Structure 1
Amino acid sequence: MDHFTQFMSAVINTFESNQRMAERAVEQVSDEGLRVALDEHTNSIAVIMKHVAGNLISRWTDFLTTDGEKPDRNRDDEFVDTFSERAELLAYWERGWSTLLDSLKSLTPDDLEKTVFIRGEAHTVPLAIQRSLGHTCYHVGQIVQVARIQAGDNWNTLTIPRGQSEQFNKARWGEGKPSA
């Protein structure tokens, strides 16, 4: 496998894994819980999801040919909970992820040599990808943390449960150690 294919595969895999993690966390939260901020200085899950989707739509629409901060994007509105139903929020969330993944999957090896702009600032394509990945993963972590708090004792862990690392490793590796 060539370097471009390896790189893009890893990027897409990481984005998709984070999307699934956020969605598995959100499934564990009530409709009302999606709208609850932990305090007056934090955002609810719904607001974080709206912001992530808005960012992905802006950054990844016409990624190679237009500035990543689109003129019609209203970033400040992303921090206002305006969706009346979970289905609307999830549809917008999916639109953001589809925009991202469709754009990533359309890139060619030559595209990695190009320069794109975000708010007028030049970025290599790999840097723009990593910037988006970092931003998105940061917010997925917030979604998971708030969902964990909202779910309380009803939380179903998204990774290896606490105290079960050794059991997990033995199941994967037989003796808890990677083979040489």
Structure 2
Amino acid sequence: MNTLGTVYLESVIKRFLTYKVLGDMTFTQLEEKDFYFAPGDSSNSIAVIIQHMHGNMRSRWTNFLTEDGEKPGRNRDEEFSPPACSKAELIRMWEEGWRCLMETLRSLTDEDLLKTITIRREPLIAIDAINRQLAHYPHHVGQIVYIGKMILDQNWKSLSIPKGESQTFNKHMQEKHKG
């Protein structure tokens, strides 16, 4: 029998993975140099965003229930310095961060969802901490996608319904879900 907690966790995992896939699909369209393009002096590159997400994910999700989500060894400010690594290394960091998140979420039980955890010593119910990150990560994935679109312009391959094709898509969905 599915409990509300189980349904919630399944939904959260599905939503997080939807955003991971948008990042993955963006990365496949980009060349290595594109990861380092910053739209302006005060803007972050995709490489910096990946580095920040990696640091955040490892800090927040490692020992989620037992340690503060802001680990002592994390240097958040350094995450916003341009990294000196390859596209392959950036993808490794991306995957490692998401793996840490998914392993933690998949390990949680109904009872865990109402436990109090801390982030920067601020007490939060686990559900709230999860929701907080469910707002944070899509924000950064949206930045990644937008920078990718900016770089590729007319060569961008849509990650969802291409412009002008909503009616065709809706018709397809009606056909798919008849019955």
TM-score over 0.5 (shorter chain):
yes
- 8 A Cα contact 2:47 2:83, kept in partner: no
The aligned counterpart of 1:108 is 109
Letter in 1 for 2:68: D
The aligned counterpart of 2:59 is 58
Deviation >3 Å, runs of 4+: none
Residue 150 of structure 1 pairs with residue 146 of structure 2 = no
Alignment of 1:8-19 (within 5 A): 8-19=9-20
| DSSP 3-state at the match of 2:29 | coil
Q: Deviations over 1:83-142 (max 9, x none)?
A: 321111111111111110000000011101200000010000000000011000100000
Alignment of 1:126-141 (within 5 A): 126-141=127-142
Deviation at 1:174, TM superposition (A): 3.6
Deviation at 1:80, TM superposition (A): 1.2
The aligned counterpart of 1:78 is 79
Alignment of 1:154-169 (within 5 A): 154-169=155-170
Moved more, 80-89 or 135-144: 80-89
C-alpha separation in 1, matches of 2:101 and 2:109: 15
User: How does the TM-score come out when normalised to structure 2?
Assistant: 0.95
Deviation at 1:75, TM superposition (A): 0.4
Residue 125 of structure 1 pairs with residue 160 of structure 2 = no
- 8 A Cα contact 1:117 1:123, kept in partner: yes
Structure 1: give runs of 5+ residues left out of the alignment.
Answer: none
Deviation at 1:179, TM superposition (A): 6.6
C-alpha separation in 2, matches of 1:51 and 1:87: 16
Structure 2: give runs of 5+ residues left out of the alignment.
Answer: none
User: How does the TM-score come out when normalised to structure 1?
Assistant: 0.95
Q: Deviations over 1:63-98 (max 9, x none)?
A: 000000000001011111223211111111111111
The aligned counterpart of 1:33 is 34
C-alpha separation in 2, matches of 1:57 and 1:84: 19
The aligned counterpart of 1:173 is 174
